[in-house]
Structure 1
Amino acid sequence: MPTSVRIENQSLAVDVSPLGAEMQAITSSDGRSWLWNGDVAYWGGRSPVLFPIVGKAPGDLLGIDGKDYPMGQHGFARRNEFALVSSTAMACHHELVASEQTKAIYPFAFRLVVEHALDGNRLTVAAEVTNEDSRDLPFGIGFHPAFMWPLPGAAEKPHAVTLDNGGEPPLAQLDGGLIKPGHLPSPFTAGRLVLQPEMFKNDALIFPQGAGAGLRYGAEDGPALHFTFENLPNLALWTKPGAPFLCIEPWHGIAAETGRSNDIMERPYSQRLAPGGMARFSFTVEIPV
């Protein structure tokens, strides 16, 4: 396996693995680590890219043109090695293209390019999907970065997620990894959610209607991260109860709904790209340094 790539500037250093084009570390110039370290005692992921689906398919089978294909939760991109196509001091690009192996479970020609780029104390992670097939390309895509909870320098302090738009998005529930019909009242009050481990005893908090264009995650009177989103209308928050991380997950696509077909185009928020089309999705996180 090729080694990870490091990009860095005076504020931040970011390490990216070719496996899944997944970030391995975000370190500020003062030595503080912000990204979850992947301790398998809790969860071995760090920042997987989710493609060509987000969430589960019924029975782990994805319907495409009337045929079922095996598809694990969150798709296959996170388990595939990407090629490094460019790297500079402050940006790198990894690429995954269709192969015989991917076409056996997702019968399309595609190109997925994942970019990590630094600008001062801001990190942008972007994915560009290109349809290289002769027919429409259906897919979902998302990001699953895990950050420390508590954040460095904020031990013992309450942490909250605060939405820039002050919204109160309704909550969707999971049943066996699938979305249950209907919504619950929002756990946000005037855009603010004080985090408690027990909130996650039944899995992720999923907000199909999203949380607007940005949010703040961090201590009430301490360090915090600020996120902005591009073309990512859905949001999830997740951890394992008692684990020292929180995933801030912006998506375009969510799990299939219970009682519905497994067809990829019936999945909520599925994308469909015309032949030759390209779509970009990204989040930017500003890190205190």
Structure 2
Amino acid sequence: MQLTRIANDQITVDIAALGAEMQSIQTRDGRHWLWHGDATYWTGRSPLLFPIVGKAPNDTVTVDGVPFQMSQHGFARRSNFSLMVEESDRCVYRLSASEASRAMYPFDFELDVEHRVEGRAVVVSAMVTNRDHKIMPFGIGFHPAFAWPLPGAAGAPHGVELDQGGAPALHRLSGGLVNPRTLPSPFEAGRLTLDHSLFADDAILFPEGAGAGLVYGPSEGPSVHFTWENLPNFALWTKPGAGFVCLEPWHGTAAEIGGSEELSERPYSELLGPGATARYSFRAELRG
């Protein structure tokens, strides 16, 4: 596996060419903060979701009525990116449209993924450019899996505390598709104590109202301040019993049960004009 390492005097981050996926975050004291990808539970570590987030009915999306096969979370996470920039504290990988991608997604696009380190933080940005002559619909999202428990916090209850202190409405998935029925929020005054039972029926999804930042970890000890930009949807996920929790900001969700198969009509799909570029990002600051 081709890896690029970026670092400063605080943290070291490894990124793979496959999926432009972050593989590890290590602080200078030797602690690892990212899930290690144990295949017993899940081989992912921090996949990028593009050009859809979540599932499509029968793994099929339509573009102007024409059907295309599209597996869950799209094809970017299984694609080899090209290394465009390599600096000591920053790298950029690129995925461009190809004959293979057009068979699944009939658009001319460019997807640049930048990783950089800033003090004790890693910043991941995705820039999508529409090189086509028509509006390009897509979904995009991040899926980083942080260690649960965090290093040095074994045995301590972990939680998620939203920066804005809200209680966003909950939606659940059924067969990988979004159930449009709104459920009561599991957050109380912005705080949710994590328990594996929350994920017995897959991810917990908050299409609106989660804000743009949170703190993940125990009430005392190590934590991650996680913030995001231009990503209105948020989800939490793990495999019950596994040692990770995914903090997932998205622009676009899985298709709704009974909803349209048309890509442009999926919930929260981005519609990018010809020649335009849109940027999406998250920042994970390690504390403690």
Same fold (TM over 0.5): yes
Distance in 2 (alpha carbons) for counterparts of 1:242 and 1:145: 17
Counterparts of 1:82-121 in structure 2 under 5 Å? 82-121=81-120
Partner of 1:143: 142
Distance in 1 (alpha carbons) for counterparts of 2:39 and 2:116: 27
1:189 aligns with 2:185: no
**TM-score where L is the length of structure 2:** 0.99
Structure 1 residues not aligned, in runs of 5+ = none
Deviation at 1:181, TM superposition (A): 1.7
Partner of 1:42: 41
Aligned length: 288
Distance in 2 (alpha carbons) for counterparts of 1:213 and 1:105: 31
Partner of 1:51: 50
Distance in 1 (alpha carbons) for counterparts of 2:172 and 2:204: 7
Partner of 2:8: 9
For residues 217-241 of structure 1, give each alpha carbon's deviation from its aligned partner in whole angstroms, at most 9, with x where no partner exists: 0011111000111101110100011
Deviation at 1:36, TM superposition (A): 0.2
Counterparts of 1:127-142 in structure 2 under 5 Å? 127-142=126-141
Partner of 1:21: 20
Query: Could you say what secondary structure the match of 2:171 adopts?
Result: coil
Partner of 1:161: 160
Distance in 2 (alpha carbons) for counterparts of 1:14 and 1:210: 31
Deviation at 1:122, TM superposition (A): 1.2
User: RMSD of the TM alignment (CA)?
Assistant: 0.7
Partner of 2:78: 79
**TM-score where L is the length of structure 1:** 0.99
- Once the two structures are aligned, what percentage of the paired residues are identical? 58
Q: Which amino acid in structure 1 is aligned with residue 135 of structure 2?
A: D
For residues 48-82 of structure 1, give each alpha carbon's deviation from its aligned partner in whole angstroms, at most 9, with x where no partner exists: 00000000001100111101100000000000000
Structure 1 residue runs of 4+, over 6 Å off?
Answer: none
Q: Which amino acid in structure 2 is aligned with residue 62 of structure 1?
A: V
Partner of 2:178: 179
Partner of 1:126: 125
Partner of 1:269: 268
Partner of 1:63: 62
Deviation at 1:288, TM superposition (A): 2.3
Distance in 2 (alpha carbons) for counterparts of 1:232 and 1:91: 22
Greater CA deviation, 206-215 or 8-17? 206-215
